[in-house]
Amino acid sequence: MIDLKFLRENPEIVKQNILNKFQEQKVPLVDEVIALDREHRATIQRADELRANRNKVSKEIGALMAQGKKDEAMTKKRLVTEQGEELAAAEKKQTELAEEIKKRMMAIPNIIDPSVPIGKDDSENVEVECFGEPRVPAFEIPYHAEIMESFNGLDLDSARRVAGNGFYYLMGDIARLHSAVISYARDFMIGRGFTYCIPPFMIRSDVVTGVMSFAEMDAMMYKIEGEDLYLIGTSEHSMIGKFIDQILPEEKLPYTLTSYSPCFRKEKGAHGIEERGVYRIHQFEKQEMIVVCKPEESKLWFDKLWRNTVDLFRSMDIPVRTLECCSGDLADLKVKSVDVEAWSPRQKKYFEVGSCSNLGDAQARRLRIRVSGESGKYFAHTLNNTVVAPPRMLIAFSENNLNEDGSVNIPVALRPYMGGQDKLVPKA
């Protein structure tokens, strides 16, 4: 949510930003907000006048009663009653107008960074940099589910019987590899100075609407029936929510946290063959990183965050690239975003394994996360990035470390978490 004062003073900039995100239908919201805001401020002014007059007349009534001028006092009492009714109506209108303004402001996208390329959708995202040499071996690489099944490590059929499509059983060496990756990612981030955290896996609706747009909420979140609780789609939600309604001492910034959680997502829509198996699923686990910082430091932290993911993947011998998200591919709260994509030797292309986002003060404004410093109070900036999400990591890992005999090499960095093993050998 952008600053109302900024919208009021720069309506054309806000409108152009909406057009840059190819959301033309939202342009009228800017003029609607300005009109409602004008009416809201006039209502506040009238309510203030009525309160001041009530206080003044109340003192006059007391003086008249003391002088025995009862009739004059009663006349003024009737005036106070009439104005009291007008004040109550003004206060009600003030609340209603504030809600209408908020509803529209929540739908207006955040102002994107000037460096963001203008494009309609993810097909117009721009490659930034590649890390590591992509390789395509001479032998055929099976589909990732087949590789995992060769270790008796994946059971999709049982999962479908138990929970339906979009779920899985991981077993044996593959399950252990999954846990090893999570543990390694945790220690990797702790080594980079982040504080480890395990957050709540459910959050209230006010936190949900504070961290994401309504469109994202509808597409992702599972609601707990009969309760004001949602299953998190990523631990970023509850980690940013940790600071709701807080005034943070400036000297304690930045807060740098890395969190583990299961994640639950609806994943609406039909998907192609390459997104089956364990690529796009309803439940998975993830290591996340978030930063709460001063506004002037958010660009610096943005580059640090995506670099952490690149370094983690490279330490496991997986080639990756960074992809700048264009304007039309940015969620409404985001100022700037870079996807990290891993190389798939089987598909001979990169695929997304993580996303790094700078949200400016949008989440902080919605969740009322302020900083108290020498120059006064201001909204913090928030950022988040995927450290690793093992289902997709397992795809990249198994393909890039696969040998012709079906075995999978374990990089040196992971061996302490795998009991010293240097290779997984297929069982089937």
CATH of the domain at 29: 1.10.287.40
The per-residue pLDDT for range 70-108, each reduced to its tens digit, is 777 778 778 777 778 888 999 999 999 999 999 999 999
Give yes or no: residues 236 and 101 share one domain: no
DSSP letter string over 68-102? T-HHHHHHHHHHHHHHHHHHHHHHHHHHHHHHHHH
Per the domain annotation, does 112 fall within a domain? no
Looking at every residue in the chain, the average pLDDT score rounds to 93
pLDDT score, position 272? 54
Per the domain annotation, does 315 fall within a domain? yes
Domain enclosing residue 326, as ranges: 122-424
Per the domain annotation, does 115 fall within a domain? no
Q: What is the dihedral of CA 160, 164, 166, 170, to 10 degrees?
A: -40
The number of folded domains in the chain is: 2
Per the domain annotation, does 110 fall within a domain? no
Give yes or no: residues 131 and 229 share one domain: yes
Give yes or no: residues 149 and 222 share one domain: yes
Q: Is the pLDDT of residue 281 over 80?
A: yes
Q: Is the pLDDT of residue 30 over 70?
A: yes
CA distance 347 to 272: 13
Exposed, middle or buried: residue 249 (CB in 10 Å: 0-12, 13-18, 19+)? Answer: exposed
Per the domain annotation, does 262 fall within a domain? yes
Q: Domain boundary at 105, 140, 159, which? A: 105
Confidence of residue 270 (pLDDT cuts 50, 70, 90): very low
Per the domain annotation, does 342 fall within a domain? yes
Q: What is the 3 state secondary structure string of 303-331?
A: HHHHHHHHHHHHCCCCCEEEEECCHHHCC
Q: What is the 3 state secondary structure string of 157-176?
A: HHHHHHHCCCCCEECHHHHH
Give yes or no: residues 127 and 53 share one domain: no
Backbone φ, ψ for residue 333 (5° rounding): -85, -10
What value does the mean pLDDT take over residues 5-20? 97
CA distance 35 to 291: 36
- Weakest mean pLDDT among 77-81, 310-314, 404-408, 416-420: 77-81
What's this model's pTM, rounded to 2 decimal places?
0.90
Q: Domain boundary at 105, 132, 152, which? A: 105
Which structure tokens are listed for 200?
Answer: 């709540």
CATH of the domain at 218: 3.30.930.10
Give yes or no: residues 93 and 168 share one domain: no
Q: Is the pLDDT of residue 36 over 50?
A: yes
CA distance 57 to 51: 10
Which structure tokens are listed for 424?
Answer: 């997984």
- Weakest mean pLDDT among 16-20, 217-221, 348-352: 217-221
Per the domain annotation, does 305 fall within a domain? yes
Give yes or no: residues 96 and 162 share one domain: no
CA distance 235 to 384: 10
Give yes or no: residues 354 and 308 share one domain: yes
pLDDT score, position 33? 98
- Structural contact between residues 109 and 116, judged by C-beta atoms closer than 8 angstroms: no
Q: Is the pLDDT of residue 367 over 90?
A: yes
Per the domain annotation, does 114 fall within a domain? no
Give yes or no: residues 319 and 411 share one domain: yes
Share of the chain above pLDDT 90, in %: 83
CA distance 50 to 42: 12
Give yes or no: residues 245 and 365 share one domain: yes
- Weakest mean pLDDT among 72-76, 226-230, 420-424: 72-76
**Which helix (H) or strand (E) segment is 275 a member of?**
none
Give yes or no: residues 87 and 192 share one domain: no
Give yes or no: residues 142 and 222 share one domain: yes
Q: Domain boundary at 105, 139, 169, which? A: 105
**Which helix (H) or strand (E) segment is 243 a member of?**
none
Give yes or no: residues 78 and 145 share one domain: no
